[in-house]
């Protein structure tokens, strides 16, 4: 039975250990906490632009699926007349 790869073990390791200073004490690595209520929401134009960029492939894919689905539906109707 093969051993587990190191790649699968790496995701269970802690991301990084705090480094110690030359004096031997731990280094402070805390980040400031920002409350979500204090963050300003994105303007509507930026939010819609981000959403449009994220789903720009969706409309052509849906159109392609609709065309293929319609074509297959027409083939089924034609086959019912030919074979039925």
pLDDT tens digit sequence for 30-39:
776 666 566 6
CA 42 from centre of chain: 20
The partner residues of 20 in beta bridges, in order of sequence, read: 26
Query: Does some domain include residue 64?
Result: yes
Domain count, the chain: 1
**Contact assessment for residue 53 and residue 46, using Cβ atoms and an 8 Å cutoff:** no
pTM attached to this predicted model: 0.41
Q: Which residues pair with 53 in a beta bridge?
A: none
Residue with tokens 């409309």: 59
Asked if residues 20 and 27 have their Cβ atoms less than 8 Å apart, the reply is: yes
CA gap 74, 69 in Å, rounded: 9
Q: Quick check: is 67 in a domain?
A: yes
Residue 81 lies in a domain: yes
33 is a domain residue = no
Q: Which domain holds residue 63?
A: 46-84
- Tens of pLDDT, residues 8-64: 555 555 555 555 555 655 666 777 666 656 666 656 677 777 777 888 889 999 999
Q: Which residue has the tokens 């293929």?
A: 68
Residue at 55 is within a domain: yes
């Amino acid at each position: 039975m093969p051993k587990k790869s190191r790649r699968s073990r790496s995701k269970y390791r802690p991301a990084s250990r705090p480094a110690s200073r030359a004096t031997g004490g731990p280094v402070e690595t805390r980040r400031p906490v920002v409350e979500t209520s204090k963050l300003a929401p994105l303007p509507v134009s930026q939010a819609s632009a981000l959403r449009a960029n994220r789903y720009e492939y969706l409309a052509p894919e849906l159109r392609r699926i609709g065309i293929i689905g319609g074509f297959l539906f027409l083939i089924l109707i034609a086959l019912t007349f030919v074979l039925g």
